[in-house]
Structure 1
């Protein structure tokens, strides 16, 4: 008899666990399996469970049904309940030969059902078939695990490239206006704080999922990317802008939104974080009462990301030094934002700001102009 017909496709012989309370059955079954496989024997269901979960995990289990204390059905149920043994294929070997018994065994998860008395060619053929199937499943699982790891690695690489690109673009815009210091970092954290605070609010909970909060934080640094298109003599002017200059300055929101729109169009499909970035860039200077720019949107017509950025952006501008003004105190800034509740800002976003002002102050201290955050 050719040994290759009855060994698994693995390099080393497969390990078979046989379980039967009758010593003579164990001896007979083991006798014609040992020339082709590593054979482990268990005289009871409890011992079979111990061996199956041990260091020498079997590739296949031949399991008698009629055993005292714990029958084969109970053993199979216990095997399937244990993560370490649930994938081991089980063939029932039993004197029961009714279709109901066979159906019950297969329903519980047995891969095959062999009736006694033992017929070596039948058992060897069934064992070989199940070992080949198991080997194929294991190989597929290993391939899937490898592919999942590879996809995860590539995804992390793409995520890193994306994050670095966003940071570089945002800091490029910030270099045009050096007085802003770590403005993009502070406003990014302010937006995250507001979003997390509003996640349970009935007006915002449907939108502010954990994923969207992360995308908001990722997108926030691009809010002033359009300032790259503003001439230096306007962007860096130390005094008050003329009406004409102010009209040009206000175009930065549209310039930024259009640049992002072109990026989305070139990508050929919607990119969620860019969609949010476009909303922030386009609408973060709109006001709740409709008096903002560029479109005069009001109330809930202003996208949620832009409403959060509006508060974050104004707070940071108020408490930060500029060439044309000294920084305001925290109390002054708090009073201005609270006073603009329902006029400049969404009332509920202002309430969230007031409730988490201490968190804003921590960020403000950690990202002082010219200083890196405290480690």
Structure 2
């Protein structure tokens, strides 16, 4: 019965020996079944073994001048190109201690001279089959790793598209929000990266957690799908009853994500952040926000980051209930909310990278020249102290 691991062509053997008669003997023995290359010293052996067409197996003499077999093997083992070529020592040194040295260095076998041709052929064949099996497994592992990486990329892509689709459900309810979800996503990432070294935040703001924040940020207003149009799109100020309904978007958003997590049957890090952000991004540092009136560090860090990002974008964007404000005025309003609306350290981080926020806003701008003109007009006509925080609460 044929071996399933047979080579498709003759394997190549490298025989290394400083004695011409030994090279001739081994060549005559092996060349019927194998391609045979010969090297009369260690230097030439390394040139062949580490060249463009390395052998499948090396038969290596130990006692050679200038560079003995042990040193040849050490150099092979030190080079990634030669590390996995099986080496059989073929030598007159037959003491157990000599054999142990060779095996410890990485040789796969040890044949004593004078040789028994049948033994040589059998051991060469066996070690070639072992190499073929090992190479097959390595190739399979490499293929599987590539497939896993490919599938992982596909899952991540599907995950990202799903998140964007879910977030867009809320955005399509208000045709003036444009690229709001994309801008806030990048604001949160920029702010988190800047604050990552801060002693208060370093434990939580690891690179992987920042990536999860980036993924979850678009879901902050998912609950708005449950708010009636007459309230969500009202151009004027909400009355108390309408405001109470508007406030429920935080709970609706959190509950929608909880339901999605239950459907999946497992907890996913970015969904944990999504729940925090959706439910708590309207909380305020001084406890005057909603839905629970949390204050200080009782508010999840993810929600505190989103609070700054969301308000900044609401300020610089036109809404049905307000015109856009210019970047400078938005920055001053957030500065004024330091310690009341917002975490003081997060505001300090925002102020340090405010220009980066502005670049993100420009990169993902909605492209309405009238909005920019209106913003400049407001900047001239209304002093800061008369400008209320424009984010619809």
For 1:306, the equivalent position in structure 2 comes to 303
**Mapped contact 1:5–1:128 kept (Cα < 8 A):** no
What is the number of residues matched between the two proteins? 368
| Superposition CA RMSD, Å | 1.8
Q: How far has the Cα of 1:50 moved from its partner?
A: 0.9
For 1:327, the equivalent position in structure 2 comes to 324
Give distance in 2, aligned partners of 1:8 and 1:176: 62
Indicate which of 124, 134, 142 corresponds to 2:139. Answer: 142
Give distance in 2, aligned partners of 1:102 and 1:8: 29
Q: How far has the Cα of 1:43 moved from its partner?
A: 0.9
Give distance in 1, aligned partners of 2:42 and 2:169: 69
Indicate which of 242, 247, 250 corresponds to 1:250. Answer: 247
Give distance in 1, aligned partners of 2:74 and 2:247: 70
**Mapped contact 1:92–1:113 kept (Cα < 8 A):** yes
**Mapped contact 1:196–1:213 kept (Cα < 8 A):** yes
Listed as ranges, the matches of 1:199-218 within 5 Å are 199-218=196-215
List structure 1 runs of 4+ shifted beyond 3 angstroms.
4-8
Listed as ranges, the matches of 1:94-105 within 5 Å are 94-105=91-102
For 1:232, the equivalent position in structure 2 comes to 229
For 2:27, the equivalent position in structure 1 comes to 30
> Are residues 5 and 241 of structure 1, via their aligned partners in 2, closer, same or farther at CA, if it must alter by over 3 Å?
closer
Give distance in 2, aligned partners of 1:297 and 1:190: 23
Secondary structure in 1 matching 2:176: helix
Indicate which of 64, 69, 72 corresponds to 2:66. Answer: 69
Give distance in 2, aligned partners of 1:150 and 1:6: 28
Q: How far has the Cα of 1:238 moved from its partner?
A: 0.5
Indicate which of 364, 368, 374 corresponds to 1:367. Answer: 364
Secondary structure in 1 matching 2:37: strand
Indicate which of 8, 13, 18 corresponds to 2:15. Answer: 18
**Mapped contact 1:253–1:283 kept (Cα < 8 A):** yes
The answer to whether 1:130 aligns with 2:146 is no
Gaps of 5+ in 2: 369-393
For 1:273, the equivalent position in structure 2 comes to 270
For 1:93, the equivalent position in structure 2 comes to 90
**Mapped contact 2:5–2:133 kept (Cα < 8 A):** no
Secondary structure in 2 matching 1:70: coil
Listed as ranges, the matches of 1:47-196 within 5 Å are 47-196=44-193
Give distance in 2, aligned partners of 1:71 and 1:181: 74
**Mapped contact 1:8–1:128 kept (Cα < 8 A):** no
The answer to whether 1:44 aligns with 2:9 is no
Q: How far has the Cα of 1:7 moved from its partner?
A: 12
Give distance in 2, aligned partners of 1:5 and 1:130: 17
Q: How far has the Cα of 1:5 moved from its partner?
A: 9.9
**Mapped contact 1:7–1:13 kept (Cα < 8 A):** no
TM-score by length of 1: 0.94
**Mapped contact 1:191–1:312 kept (Cα < 8 A):** yes
> Are residues 295 and 13 of structure 1, via their aligned partners in 2, closer, same or farther at CA, if it must alter by over 3 Å?
same
**Mapped contact 1:7–1:36 kept (Cα < 8 A):** no
**Mapped contact 1:286–1:294 kept (Cα < 8 A):** yes
**Mapped contact 1:7–1:128 kept (Cα < 8 A):** no
The answer to whether 1:241 aligns with 2:204 is no
Q: How far has the Cα of 1:226 moved from its partner?
A: 0.4
Give distance in 1, aligned partners of 2:351 and 2:3: 74
> Are residues 322 and 6 of structure 1, via their aligned partners in 2, closer, same or farther at CA, if it must alter by over 3 Å?
closer
